[in-house]
Chains A and B, each alone.
Chain A
Amino acid sequence: MDIIVVFLIICGLVFFTGGAVGILRFPDFYTRLHPAGKMDTLGSFLMVLAVSLFNLREFSWAAVLTSLKILLIVLFIFILNPTATHAIVDAGFRAGMRPWTKKDKGK
């Protein structure tokens, strides 16, 4: 059980790290949102899953309830994260920010 939990947490951390590195490395606003908005979703999904599993290692109904509450967080993240990302992109697009393309590489 502990092995699964540790494995899930490490996977989550890898995705979070990827997200952070991606924000630093990608060239412009829109491409940076790709790792920022979504690697976080999967990373937090894996970590929250690990936490709720860890919480269940001594089985009791109270622990089950707590785990269900933790899993509710995942549900909300899955609805909220794409919506927030879309709102940010939309704001950037409305403000007239031009997406980076390969042709702009010289800049």
Chain B
Amino acid sequence: MKEHLAEVKTLHLGNVSGSRSGGLPEHPAPRPIFSRIITFIVLIGVWVILSGKFDLFHLSLGLISCAIVTILSGDLLFPETRTGGLFRHILPVINYVPWLLYQVVLANLHILYLVFHPRMMELIDPQIIRFDSTLKKEISLVTFANSITLTPGTITMYVSVEGAFQVHAIDKASADPLPGEMERRIARAFEDE
């Protein structure tokens, strides 16, 4: 704990001295204009769906407010995307979602079977499994953890930044496929390699 605090302190101090010695605050890396455009399109889409009015007044209101939001916080939605990186990822992501839905349905049927089974107490075997994931980026870890929780039979209990997972599984059949296939698909969809 103490070490950790000391580290934070030095980090903080380092930052302050850095900005002081540099005079002007360092200019941020070239803006990912690409991710901003995508953000803007997503925002406009949500605006149009939610407002449902297509006259000039409402559309221009939407354009203005979406532009303001994009300028202020355009790097929130796709923080790590560099130019060209986004399109490479779109296809695998689109590929991943139906597969996840299919897995969710399969696993739901399995839990449904367990729930209505008369000797349910003998079938279930709750256990906590631990494994280390090879995923590196935060977004893929989050997606992985959420996917694990979404497929019934497994709940993510703990994830560390380094990718150490702790998963509560309801029986052996739910625990066995982890990390396996899901991790590979997420790696293909979100990781850079």
Q: How many A-B residue pairs have CB under 8 A?
A: 99
Residue of A nearest to B117 (CB): A25
B105 located at the interface, meaning its Cβ lies under 8 Å from any Cβ of chain A in the complex? yes
Majority SS of interface residues in chain A?
Answer: helix
Residue of A nearest to B114 (CB): A22
Q: A18-B111, A39-B108 given as contacts; is B150 within 8 A of A82 (CB)?
A: yes
Q: Are A93 and B170 in contact (CB under 8 A)?
A: no
Q: Are B111 and A105 in contact (CB under 8 A)?
A: no
Interface size range on A against B = 35 or more
A6 located at the interface, meaning its Cβ lies under 8 Å from any Cβ of chain B in the complex? no
Q: Are A86 and B145 in contact (CB under 8 A)?
A: yes
Majority SS of interface residues in chain B?
Answer: helix
Measured in the bound complex, the distance between the Cα atoms of B151 and A15 in whole Å is 14
A27 — which chain B residues lie within 8 A by C-beta? 121, 124
* B112 partner, pick from A39, A72, A99, beta carbons under 8 A: A39
B157 — which chain A residues lie within 8 A by C-beta? 86, 89-90, 93
Against A, the Cβ 8 Å flags (1 = close, 0 = not) of B151-190 are 1110111100000000010100000000000000000000
Q: Which of B6-14, B23-31, B74-82, B125-133 contacts A (4 or more CB under 8 A)?
A: B125-133
* A69 partner, pick from B49, B112, B120, beta carbons under 8 A: B49
- Nearest chain B CB to A15's CB is how many angstroms away? 6
> Can you add 11 more A-B contacts, CB < 8 Å, to A34-B152, A38-B151?
A15-B108, A22-B114, A26-B120, A27-B124, A30-B168, A31-B170, A35-B111, A35-B115, A69-B50, A85-B149, A85-B155
- Sampled A-B contacts (28; CB under 8 Å): A18-B111, A18-B115, A18-B116, A22-B114, A26-B120, A26-B124, A28-B126, A34-B152, A34-B170, A35-B111, A35-B152, A39-B108, A39-B111, A41-B104, A42-B104, A42-B105, A65-B49, A65-B52, A72-B50, A78-B150, A82-B156, A83-B146, A85-B155, A86-B145, A86-B156, A86-B157, A89-B155, A101-B127
**Interface set of B (CB-CB < 8 Å, partner A):** 46, 49-50, 52, 104-105, 108, 111-112, 114-116, 120-121, 124-128, 145-147, 149-153, 155-158, 168, 170
